[in-house]
Structure 1
């Protein structure tokens, strides 16, 4: 994520806002210390984004998953 200082943000505000509106958030810093994060209004907050289980019901893990390819692996490693 891009970090810009306040002076640069003032100078290039239009360009930075266009980038943020297209989904490229950025951080404005003062003396190197991050102060604010600029994100598009319609972007959900990070806490609202659900990643865990996002493919639930779309894939199936076979019951023998931990044993798949066991013979080939043992042959390769001489077990």
Structure 2
């Protein structure tokens, strides 16, 4: 959705307009009836690339992980 606002409104409500832009809206700023600028969200910073195997050898899961839960544990989880 695009809305056009005056320069005066943009100056007095900049924080609100930026929140709307962050939510995905585009705001056109106009001098009178003539559009002069557009507020749009900036591209987010790129996420760092994931490296497979980064935690290899730093963690382990023992065989007890795969054993059935006790009746007491099942009750805690609402399964009995």
- TM-score w.r.t. length of structure 1: 0.51
Alignment match, 2:6: 5
Give ranges in structure 2 of 5+ residues lacking alignment. 45-80
Displacement after TM superposition at 1:40 (Å): 0.2
Give ranges in structure 1 of 5+ residues lacking alignment. 44-79
Larger helix share, 1 or 2: 1
Could you say what secondary structure the match of 1:2 adopts?
strand
**In structure 2, distance between residues paired with 1:11 and 1:32:** 18
Radius of gyration: which is bigger? 2
Alignment match, 1:36: 37
The count of aligned residue pairs is 43
